[in-house]
Amino acid sequence: MIVRLSSQQAPANLCNNVKSGLAKSCKCKFITNKRSKHDMVISYREELGSQKNLVLEAGYLNDYSNDGSARGEKEGYHKARRTFTSIGWDGLCGKSKWQIEDCDDDRVVKHGIKIKPWRENEIKTAFVFLQLDTDRSLGKCTGRKYHEWAAKSVVDLEQQGYEVYYKPHPRRDMRLGVGKRFEGTITQALNKADLTVQYSSTCAVDSIMRGIPAITFYDGSIAWDVTGHSIDEIVRPDRTQWLNNLMYMQWKPAELASGEWWQYYKGYLEK
């Protein structure tokens, strides 16, 4: 099998782990020339226009326990997102063309993943978690459209009678002109929230794992199946199967290097 490494290549240590795992799992040759014949492409984030594109991205389950002060949050955010690496074919997050379903809980147990019971308290405080307005996981809702969506969400939540804050992305100091801007860290925001709203941010996963109801607005969200999809749709579904499946979409460095993940993804090449 000929594997092309995209110019959108992952950080060196991550790329080396994936290459090592593939080499242990199958006979393959690695190339970088885009014009050469190849069977699949490995990229960090999606390489648009490519087929059989194995997309690597930051993980979905994040450890924000050391996200530090707001001033140092950017560094803490990046460290938290490196706990796992997510893998998908030909798309990011919920838009991956190869969904692994009906998984058992062995990887949940292996990594000691705990999910808190749903909070049943009255919802008084809502948070809107913002993303980078150029994020591909926003689909077509980027730039000005995203700013308009965010501002409208804040206003709509206020009309529901909630105390509303918006939390900028650690990498972007965005101001909406409406609502209250939260100056603390992601952890502090989640500790204060009774409800979270996001277009497709993985903060929805952080919310759900803590038992906080979440709302998402894009079916590319990895949390789409366990969230509401309008301001007034508060849901608390069973999350067991969703979490089991999610754990087969993200892997730790040693697991990538061992190649154990490949058996769950190679079937896509045979389609």
Extended beta strands in the chain, E state: 2-5, 29-31, 40-44, 53-58, 85-89, 125-129, 163-167, 180-181, 195-198, 214-216, 250-251
Alpha-carbon distance values, 118 to 122, 130, 164, 221 (Å): 12, 23, 20, 20
Q: How far apart are CA 152 and CA 178, in angstroms?
A: 9
Name the pTM for this structure: 0.89
| Rounded Cα gap, residues 240 and 235, in angstroms | 15
Residue type, 29: K
Cα–Cα dist 166/195, whole Å = 12
C-beta separation of 268 from 89 below 8 A? yes
Strand-pairing partners, residue 158, are none
Q: What pairs with residue 197 in β-bridges?
A: 128, 215
Region of 153 on the Ramachandran plot (φ > 0 left; ψ -120 to 50 alpha; else beta): alpha
Task: Please give the average per-residue pLDDT across 160-171, as a whole number.
Answer: 93
Q: Specify the pairing of strand 53-58 against strand 85-89.
A: antiparallel
Residue 9 confidence (pLDDT) = 60
3-state secondary structure of 244: helix
Indicate the average pLDDT of the chain. Answer: 88
| Amino acid 69: pLDDT | 46
Residue 12's pLDDT is 72
Q: What does the pLDDT look like over 92-130, one tens digit per residue? A: 778 888 778 899 999 999 999 999 999 999 999 999 999
Share of residues in the chain with pLDDT > 90 (%): 56
Strand partners, 88: 55
